[in-house]
Amino acid sequence: MVDRRDGPSGPPSGVREIDVSVLRDTVARLIVEANFNIPADILQALRDAVDREESPLGRRTLEQLVRNYEVAAAERRPVCQDSGVAVVILEIGQDVHWTGGSMQEAVYAGVREGTRAGYLRWSVTGDPTRMLKISGEETPAVIHVDLVPGSDVRILFASKGFGAENMSALKMFVPADGVPAITQFVLDTVDRAGANACPPIIVGVGIGGTFESAALLAKKAVLRPLDVRNARADVRQLEVELLERVNELGIGPQGFGGRVTALGVNIEVYPTHIAGLPVAVNLGCHSTRRISTTL
């Protein structure tokens, strides 16, 4: 244990100091890039879906979506007016020491600066009850922190639109319900969401943990790239089966009917209580904006 009060001005050996202004500037850059550029794997999945879609109106819709993303990137416009809630998932090395101020305030400031610089919509209200009359440039983010070994900081930034977020769901099942109940819950959630979630969607499923951690698992699942599959073979198989079942619902692009309702189903699992089976389904629209970087 190093007593920093009387010690030298530098950090103890093995500790990496990062000024929070670096985090602020990085977040400001990420929110702009995320809103102008759809992730490459999603754009590719949409292009692939054009060939697979049998419904003529569905195919035309997919072509328009691809065109929208090309135009947004070329002209540096927001891909969607709903710049969403900034969700910042930080994996912080336990040997990192933040200097220069509050880490949380730095994230908020980065969101504020990027929203202004990118001409993004001020999509967040400071008071969810609306009892306070708050309007204007509100930019609190939703921040999740995982402490990990090492001295790197990995930032996963997402602008989460609320068309799909509003249609997400969580249910506490019992162990005897098992995989059939998980399957039906995913299908019911997607079917109820229909066109509201802006299909083709990405389905994030969190299984296990507790009430709140299942929801976070689902968030991490929906933000996982489409070309990354679960490490467990049986879970991977469930992802494939659920995607097939979801695409049999017939909702199609934008709810106009067709074969392509979802681009992917991503599942994350975590141990849970012997009495429980929490399942959360977080839906992402076709415009699921995410970007990551490492400090």
Partner 1 sequence: MSNVFELKCQNGIAQTDLDALRAGDAVELTGQVISVRDASAARLVAAVREGQPLPISLENQILYAVGPSPPKPGQIIGSAGPTTTSRMARFLPSLFTAGVRAIIGKGELHGEEAAPFLSHGVVYFGAIGGLGALLAKQISSTRIVAYDDLGPEALHALQIFAFPVVVIIDRHGGNFHETARSKWRKTR
Stretch that binds partner 1, among 10-18, 139-147, 205-213, 279-287 (CB under 8 A): 279-287
Among 2, 17, 64, 234, binds partner 1 (CB under 8 A): 64
Contact at 8 Å (CB) between 106 and 20? Answer: yes
Min separation Cβ 194 and partner 1, Å: 5
Among 152, 256, 276, 295, binds partner 1 (CB under 8 A): 256
Q: Is 52 in the site for partner 1 (CB under 8 A)?
A: no
Stretch that binds partner 1, among 2-10, 98-106, 115-123, 228-236 (CB under 8 A): 115-123
Among 11, 100, 225, 257, binds partner 1 (CB under 8 A): 257
Contact at 8 Å (CB) between 78 and 35? Answer: yes
Min separation Cβ 83 and partner 1, Å: 7
Q: Is 140 in the site for partner 1 (CB under 8 A)?
A: no
Q: Which of 51, 5, 190, 28 is closest to 113 using CA atoms?
A: 28
Which position has the token pair 């292009």?
Answer: 47
Q: With contacts defined by CB under 8 A, how many residues of the chain interact with partner 1? A: 49
Stretch that binds partner 1, among 96-104, 116-124, 152-160, 211-219 (CB under 8 A): 116-124
Contact at 8 Å (CB) between 26 and 32? Answer: no
Among 18, 30, 83, 243, binds partner 1 (CB under 8 A): 83
Stretch that binds partner 1, among 4-12, 148-156, 215-223, 256-264 (CB under 8 A): 256-264
Buried/exposed 103-133: b ≥16 CB within 10 Å, e otherwise: bbebbbbbbbbbbeebebeebbeeeeeeeee
Q: Say how far apart CA 295 and CA 289 lie, in whole Å.
A: 20
Q: Is 126 in the site for partner 1 (CB under 8 A)?
A: no
Contact at 8 Å (CB) between 153 and 91? Answer: yes
Give first-to-last CA distance, the chain, whole Å.
26
Note if the bond before 200 is cis, omega within 30 degrees. Answer: yes
Stretch that binds partner 1, among 23-31, 210-218, 227-235, 280-288 (CB under 8 A): 280-288
Contact at 8 Å (CB) between 249 and 261? Answer: yes
Q: Is 283 in the site for partner 1 (CB under 8 A)?
A: no
Coil, strand, or helix at residue 143? strand
Chain residues binding partner 1 by CB under 8 A are: 54-57, 60-61, 64-65, 67-69, 71-72, 75, 77-83, 119-123, 135-136, 161, 163, 166, 194-196, 198, 248-252, 254-259, 285-287
